[in-house]
Amino acid sequence: MNNVKELISNCESCVTKPCQVGCPLNIDIPGFIDKIKEEKYEEAFLLLSEYTPLMSLCGRICPHQEQCEGSCVKKISYSPVEIGKLEAFVGDYAINNNLKIDYPNNTKFNIAVVGGGPAGLSCAYFLRKNGYGVTIYEKHDYLGGLLAHGIPEFKLSRDIVKKVIDKILQLGIDVKYNQVLGKNILLDDLINNHDAVFIAIGSNESNIMNIPNENINGVYKGNELLENKLIIDYKDKDVVIIGGGNVAMNIASIAKKSGARNATIIYRRTEEDSPAAISEINSAKEDKATFLFERNVIKINGEDHVNSVDVVKTKSINKKDIPVNIEDSKETIKCDIVIIAIGSHPEKIVEKMDIEKTQSGKIKIDNDGHTSSEKIFAGGNVAGSKATVSWAAKSGRSAAKSIIDYLNEKKI
């Protein structure tokens, strides 16, 4: 508690609220901090609940330096207010004291939410909070999506994830587990049996590099590695991770913490161009990962098992163009394990959906999360949302409002 008092004393309660502008969820940050200053913790929770149910999680894992804290005016001359810690404090206080929000007991309509990650959970929460019936269809036997399998345990406790999800489900949200879209549940059936459908199944198929020996033993795909919770023996191994995003950083940290001799991140652009959050890059550096920027892997070597990779230097003309390989710059890096983490694309079922897609194969939505099909809405990474929890949560919240507007118009 003393730490919280110290944190809130740094906030000047700015009238202009630049931190709120920097937050993807547009949370009234000075507002909830003022409630903490007054020791009105339940009111702080209720205020935050108008914006998100994931406060204990976002408070821990959001890239605050690039969002709310990065917009704090105190950053100019001093350290920014540690907003994330205060948000997590309120969320944890609500869980530990079983604080509740008001919501209608009776429901109207019933909406199918496909996918129980941050976008799906947020959509379900705001729908149920406003009196709408919700059924979540989840392909795993647990909810959380990347919250449960995409972020290492040492960064986000599975226990706090479960507690946050349980609190959301207490609103009276139905969940059907082990439901795989296109296999044991069909989109047409969901459309026929529900008043609206929200698709938030992520974008979980790893991109491939199309280089020699990409599929030999010892080569893994980053997204599948995390989602399927594969256990790899990293001890005393040389590991190469290809890619510059958060997945690559997390896997490098996991490898080093698991005893890897080396964890080398190879990325074809500069550090400044890396899509990973600054905090994730710094975390990998703290774990003693090695970075090779402006490098490109052109071949994986080995017969029965990987033993090295061939790497060349690259040069970027500008940020929009693909970096070009520099001739006569090849070097070979010995390794025991290669993990490819160069981004992802939606599962094949999305391609088969009779709705409009983007050029990258994701579900095309308008500003309100509505697809080209009347009853279908989408959000999160499957619809091109920025790959952070807060942006996914925002897309779910926005879609919930759009679904409510849509159903109310239909009723009229």
pLDDT value of position 262: 98
pLDDT confidence tier of residue 382, bands split at 50, 70 and 90 = very high
- One domain, residues 292 and 306: yes
CATH code, domain with 65: 1.10.1060.10
91-105 pLDDT, tens digit per residue, is: 999 999 999 999 999
Distances from the Cα of 251 to the Cα of 97, 115, 325, 337, 397, angstroms: 35, 24, 25, 12, 30
**DSSP bridge pairs for 117:** none
16: buried, middle or exposed (CB in 10 Å: 19+, 13-18, 0-12)? exposed
Per the model's pLDDT, the better-predicted residue between 208 and 21 turns out to be 208
- One domain, residues 221 and 322: yes
What phi, psi does 285 have (nearest 5°)? -65, -40
> Angle 2-9/29-37 helices, nearest 10 degrees?
130
Does a structural domain hold residue 285? yes
The region of weakest confidence among 76-85, 190-199, 273-282 is 76-85
Q: Please report which residue ranges of 97-157 form alpha helices under DSSP H.
A: 118-129, 146-149
196-250 pLDDT, tens digit per residue, is: 999 999 998 999 999 999 999 999 999 999 999 999 999 999 999 999 999 999 9
CB 20 within 8 A of CB 27: yes
Number of domains in the chain: 3
CB 298 within 8 A of CB 327: no
CA 276 remoteness from chain centre: 12
CATH code, domain with 406: 3.50.50.60
- One domain, residues 122 and 185: yes
Helix (H, G, I), strand (E, B) or coil at 344: strand
pTM beyond 0.85, yes or no: yes
pLDDT value of position 265: 98
Q: b or e along 315-343 (b: 16 or more beta carbons within 10 Å of the residue's beta carbon)?
A: eeeeeeeebebeeeeeeebebbbbbbbbb
139-168 pLDDT, tens digit per residue, is: 999 999 999 999 999 999 999 999 999 999
Does a structural domain hold residue 252? yes
- One domain, residues 251 and 335: yes
Residue 33 lies in domain: 2-96
Residue 1 in this model has a pLDDT that exceeds 60: no
What mean pLDDT, rounded, does the chain reach?
A: 93
Residue 10 in this model has a pLDDT that exceeds 80: no
Does a structural domain hold residue 40? yes
Does a structural domain hold residue 75? yes
CB 22 within 8 A of CB 71: yes
Does a structural domain hold residue 90? yes
Write down which residue in 295, 329, 344 finishes a domain. Answer: 344
- One domain, residues 147 and 195: yes
Angle, CA of 159, 164 and 168, to the nearest 5°: 145
- One domain, residues 155 and 140: yes
Write down which residue in 39, 69, 96 finishes a domain. Answer: 96
CB 350 within 8 A of CB 366: no
Write down which residue in 324, 344, 364 finishes a domain. Answer: 344
- One domain, residues 121 and 77: no
- One domain, residues 324 and 377: no
Two structure tokens written together for 84: 């994330």
- One domain, residues 314 and 384: no
What phi, psi does 209 have (nearest 5°)? -100, -20
- One domain, residues 244 and 329: yes
Does a structural domain hold residue 33? yes
Q: What percent of the chain has pLDDT over 70?
A: 98
- One domain, residues 222 and 333: yes
**Distance (Å, rounded) from C-alpha 199 to C-alpha 93?**
31
Residue 2 in this model has a pLDDT that exceeds 60: no
Does a structural domain hold residue 103? no
- One domain, residues 212 and 193: no
**Distance (Å, rounded) from C-alpha 227 to C-alpha 28?**
33
Does a structural domain hold residue 102? no
**Residue 80 DSSP label:** P
Helix (H, G, I), strand (E, B) or coil at 264: strand
